[in-house]
Chains A and B, each alone.
Chain A
Amino acid sequence: MTDMTASHAALEPSRSDKFRQRTVPLILFAVVLLVIPLFNPSRSMVTLLNHMGITIVFALSYNMLLGRAGLLSFGHAVYMGLGGYFAVHVMNWIAEGTGIWGSVPMFSMPAFGFGAGALAGAVIGWPSCRRAGTPFAMISLGVAELVAAAGFMFDSLFGGEMGISGDRMNGPELFGLSLGPVDEVYWFIAFWTFIGVLGTYAFTRTPLGKLSEATRDNPERVEFVGYSPQRVRYLVFIFAGAFAGMAGGMSAVQDEIFTPENLSLIPSGAILIATYVGGIRYFTGPIMGAIVMTYMGSNLSDYTAGWLLYLGLMFVCVVMFLPDGIAGIVYGTADTIRQGRAGEMWRTWMLRLMGLALVGAAIITIVEVAFRWSDGYGEVFEPFGLQLTVENPLTWVIGILSLVLGILALRRAAKGGGK
């Protein structure tokens, strides 16, 4: 008996390990959040950062389902939307200030969203969590379509096409934040993003969080041990809905508006892509995915009309070649460096980067030329002063030659990496 506990203790990570692996990253994250305003970001940058914070919490809640519990949902935006809608209603009640609402601070909106999201998860999750896999995915798709349609039908709840808007500058102020200017909203978002990250991380450490992973990997054995996989899925679903609702509450304060479009399949698909691209096998994957995809979603369209095509290509490539997403690259690299194989890695990485650059150049050339050709406005793609048109043979030399060379280099790197 004593031997057993001793061996358990030996398997368990040491105190310093725990601190290094669990507490330090959270402290670092908090420091980053605190330091960002020192760089004096522009207001549009702050707006973008705020949206990133919202998407981070949303993506983490989505990964509670997809990554941890193995439940693929096509309707996760429903919970963010319902939480957000409820928060906007609360904001309007605060603005009226009748009864108890007059003393509710605007700062607490995400908590209301959390509650509404949990309730929505509890109601919708009951029928849909009885099965995993494809039936779950299909039910989530059907539910998303139904809820989005209801969003257009019930004007008093969802405000019809124009949605419901509120004003965040009401109610008692907390921490001296009026929440008027966008940089004050930043502190609000930063606070709740941190709470969201902390909360979802803490969830993975709970017995329920561990059980959800077990249910994903082998539901039969979970049942043998005496737990009901259905109930585990249901509880996880409620928590995922709750954190999504919290993101909705954050979004209600940041954007002060919710429209039925927020409930539809489009944001649900976007969060699926963001989470997957970030890497569903790592806790931090969705955070990286949320940051990258929010940035690309808002800014890539400034540079090219073909941003959706690039996004689609990137997504397909991640699914095909990088199933662990961005986080997979980051941690893979970190591991290799830690193992002291940096020099060896350096060579394959150089080859890989060269290949990526060539393939990237080829794809950009082809896509940009194609888009300009398709528009027919006579615009010409002119990188570095080159006049690349459809008729110009140089276009196709760059396009095809560098594509072929790039793929060859990547193949070589893949083989070298396998050594």
Chain B
Amino acid sequence: MKSTVKAALAAAVSLCAVQAAQADTLKMAFIDPLSGAMASSGEPAYQSFVLAAEHINADGGVNGDMIEILGLDNKISPKESLVQLQKAIDQGARYIIQGNGSSVASAIIDAVNKHNARNPGEEVLFFNYAAVTPEFTNEACSFWHFRFDAHTDMKMNGITDWIASREDIKKVYLIGQDYVHGEAVAHAAETQLAEKRPDIEIVGNELHPLAKVKDFTPYVQKIISSGADAVITGNWGQDMTLLVKAAADAGQEIPYLTFYGGSNGAVAALGEGAIDTLYQVSELAANMEDVSDEQNALVEEYKERFPDYDYYYHRAFVTLDMFDKAAEEAGSNDPIAVAHALEGMSVEGGYGAATMRAEDHQLQQPLYITTVAADVTYPVDNTNLGWRLVEGGVIPADAAETPTTCEMERPD
């Protein structure tokens, strides 16, 4: 069995090689942290894009051209990203992929807008796969920017829809990091809950400094004394793991609804304490029933190739699939043609259909609320724990959708 697989793989590889020799390469630049402390979020995304590109290349590429993903390390610094952006453009990349850090994304959007205005005929497109500041597809929207991740307000829509369906939740506590993202999350939660469940009381709205708090016990104590039934947080990194860890240590068993609970290593850091405490909203639910075998095979292939990480960046695959489809439809790999074709484009993703809304270039897709459980098919972080879909946790695309204020200027 193994050897036949190997032989088939070898054949596929050699076929690819033959094709690659004939076909041109289509360079896409992946600019994100690939070293240092933040590499644990940049690297798995890079691997996801590489794997997605391999799949597309094996299927004949994009209009016959083979995708090559250039990994460029921006050390999570906006300035360094601009150097890498210039490098990418000079190496012939007309498509830029980035996601970590809204500061970096905002710098790249700005730079791409300026570059395209100053260098007509040499336009580049920016595919944002994870920077979730709503402005990017609202007042700061750009024709050259496409976002393949749900933004803060949409994810919050998912969370508040689920809370609204839970009659037993009467009191909600908001806690977040003291900067733009944390404030935006708190604001979205307040307005949406007031609309969907006016009877819910917001018993706390707390902002703490970014990445400086070691011991979250005092915060958890505040949450306990407030009598909250659920906690919503936009925290990421250590601020998220330490918060949930402190809650688990204090024996709290209420849902902590997070945006980034699924980031690599969080479940490993929390262990059993995460069960039924750590919730996340994301565009995939790996252990959901009725997922196609093809998609599950992809999840397994990812794990086998990159044993340190798990299949998390589903959007990488959606991004490249949609790009491939748009380019074939436009009959050209030229960024302007592809951008026009991407508007309104729709693909059948592994976890539900995804559509690129034309007026603001924001991907619309179903969202899922999942929580950590022990008996799952696809565990994460090399533990025996994984993400299980919660009851009523499927948020259809139109429920997560938010209106946009975008007034897009399109080139002729």
**Minimum distance in angstroms from B134 CB to a CB of chain A:** 12
Provide the bound-state CA to CA distance between A162 and B118, in Å: 23
Q: Which B residues touch A220, using CB under 8 A?
A: none
Q: Which B residues touch A308, using CB under 8 A?
A: 35-36
Question: A133 near B: Cβ within 8 Å?
Answer: no
Q: Which A residues touch B73, using CB under 8 A?
A: 301-302, 307
Decide: A182 near B35, CB < 8 A? Known: A256-B114, A259-B78, A298-B80.
no
Question: B187 near A: Cβ within 8 Å?
Answer: no
Task: Name B179's contact: one of A160, A256, A307 (CB within 8 Å).
Answer: A160
Q: Which residue of B lies closest to A307 (CB)?
A: B35
**Minimum distance in angstroms from B172 CB to a CB of chain A:** 25
Q: Which A residues touch B209, using CB under 8 A?
A: 149, 152
Q: Are B180 and A182 in contact (CB under 8 A)?
A: no
Provide the bound-state CA to CA distance between A257 and B102, in Å: 13
- Interface residues in A292-316 by Cβ distance below 8 A to B read 297-298, 301-302, 305, 307-308
Provide the bound-state CA to CA distance between A14 and B75, in Å: 50
Q: Are A305 and B35 in contact (CB under 8 A)?
A: yes
Q: Are B79 and A255 in contact (CB under 8 A)?
A: yes
Interface segment among B5-13, B86-94, B278-286: the answer is B86-94
Q: Are A162 and B102 in contact (CB under 8 A)?
A: yes
Size of A's binding interface in residues, CB under 8 A:
38
Q: Which B residues touch A266, using CB under 8 A?
A: 77
Q: Which of B34, B79, B178, B305 has the most CB of A within 10 A?
A: B79
Q: Which A residues touch B77, using CB under 8 A?
A: 261, 266
**Minimum distance in angstroms from A271 CB to a CB of chain B:** 13
Question: A180 near B: Cβ within 8 Å?
Answer: yes
**Minimum distance in angstroms from A303 CB to a CB of chain B:** 11
Decide: A162 near B79, CB < 8 A? Known: A44-B87, A301-B34.
no
**Minimum distance in angstroms from B52 CB to a CB of chain A:** 16
Q: Are B90 and A42 in contact (CB under 8 A)?
A: yes
Mark contacts of B73-113 with chain A using CB atoms, 8 A cut-off: 1 yes-contact digit, 0 otherwise. Answer: 10101111011101101110000000001110011001100
Q: Are B179 and A47 in contact (CB under 8 A)?
A: no
Q: Which B residues touch A167, using CB under 8 A?
A: 114
Q: Which B residues touch A375, using CB under 8 A?
A: 306, 308
Question: B163 near A: Cβ within 8 Å?
Answer: no
Provide the bound-state CA to CA distance between A257 and B78, in Å: 8
**Minimum distance in angstroms from A379 CB to a CB of chain B:** 10
Q: Which residue of B lies closest to A375 (CB)?
A: B308
**Minimum distance in angstroms from B107 CB to a CB of chain A:** 5
Question: B17 near A: Cβ within 8 Å?
Answer: no
Q: Are A51 and B83 in contact (CB under 8 A)?
A: yes
Q: Which residue of B lies closest to A266 (CB)?
A: B77
Q: Which residue of B lies closest to A378 (CB)?
A: B305
Q: Which A residues touch B180, using CB under 8 A?
A: 155, 160-162
Mark contacts of B170-183 with chain A using CB atoms, 8 A cut-off: 1 yes-contact digit, 0 otherwise. Answer: 00000000111100
Q: Are B83 and A48 in contact (CB under 8 A)?
A: yes
Q: Which B residues touch A256, using CB under 8 A?
A: 110-111, 114
Decide: A305 near B82, CB < 8 A? Known: A152-B179, A257-B110, A261-B77.
no
Q: Are B79 and A257 in contact (CB under 8 A)?
A: yes
Provide the bound-state CA to CA distance between A165 and B86, in Å: 18
Size of B's binding interface in residues, CB under 8 A:
41
Q: Which B residues touch A257, using CB under 8 A?
A: 78-79, 82, 107, 110
Task: Name A165's contact: one of B91, B107, B179 (CB within 8 Å).
Answer: B107
Question: B66 near A: Cβ within 8 Å?
Answer: no
- Interface residues in A163-202 by Cβ distance below 8 A to B read 163, 165, 167, 180-182
Q: Are B80 and A47 in contact (CB under 8 A)?
A: no
Q: Which A residues touch B305, using CB under 8 A?
A: 377-378
- Interface residues in A231-272 by Cβ distance below 8 A to B read 251, 255-257, 259, 261-262, 266
Task: Name A302's contact: one of B47, B72, B101, B119 (CB within 8 Å).
Answer: B72
Question: B41 near A: Cβ within 8 Å?
Answer: no
Q: Which of B72, B87, B307 has the most CB of A within 10 A?
A: B87
Q: Which B residues touch A165, using CB under 8 A?
A: 106-107, 110
Question: A376 near B: Cβ within 8 Å?
Answer: yes
Q: Are A376 and B308 in contact (CB under 8 A)?
A: yes
Provide the bound-state CA to CA distance between A368 and B101, in Å: 29
Question: A22 near B: Cβ within 8 Å?
Answer: no
Decide: A162 near B83, CB < 8 A? Known: A376-B307, A377-B306.
no
Decide: A47 near B114, CB < 8 A? Known: A308-B36, A376-B307.
no
Provide the bound-state CA to CA distance between A212 and B47, in Å: 53
Q: Which A residues touch B87, using CB under 8 A?
A: 44, 47, 298
- Interface residues in A51-109 by Cβ distance below 8 A to B read 51
Mark contacts of A134-178 with chain B using CB atoms, 8 A cut-off: 1 yes-contact digit, 0 otherwise. Answer: 000000000000000100110100001111010100000000000
Q: Are B82 and A163 in contact (CB under 8 A)?
A: no
Question: B269 near A: Cβ within 8 Å?
Answer: no
Task: Name A180's contact: one of B35, B90, B111, B118 (CB within 8 Å).
Answer: B118
Q: Which A residues touch B306, using CB under 8 A?
A: 375-377
Provide the bound-state CA to CA distance between A261 and B74, in Å: 13
Question: A43 near B: Cβ within 8 Å?
Answer: yes
Q: Which residue of B lies closest to A145 (CB)?
A: B212
Q: Are A182 and B86 in contact (CB under 8 A)?
A: yes
B contact residues vs A (CB 8 Å cutoff): 34-36, 47, 72-73, 75, 77-80, 82-84, 86-87, 89-91, 101-103, 106-107, 110-111, 114, 118-119, 133, 178-181, 209-210, 212, 305-308
Extra contacts besides A266-B77, A297-B75 (14): CB < 8 Å: A44-B87, A44-B90, A149-B209, A152-B179, A160-B180, A162-B180, A181-B118, A256-B114, A257-B110, A301-B75, A307-B35, A307-B73, A308-B36, A376-B308
A contact residues vs B (CB 8 Å cutoff): 42-44, 47-48, 51, 149, 152-153, 155, 160-163, 165, 167, 180-182, 251, 255-257, 259, 261-262, 266, 297-298, 301-302, 305, 307-308, 375-378
Q: Could you list 6 examples of A-B contacts with CB < 8 Å? A: A161-B181, A163-B103, A255-B78, A255-B82, A307-B35, A378-B305
**Which 5 interchain pairs have the tightest Cβ spacing?**
A301-B73, A44-B90, A44-B87, A160-B180, A162-B106
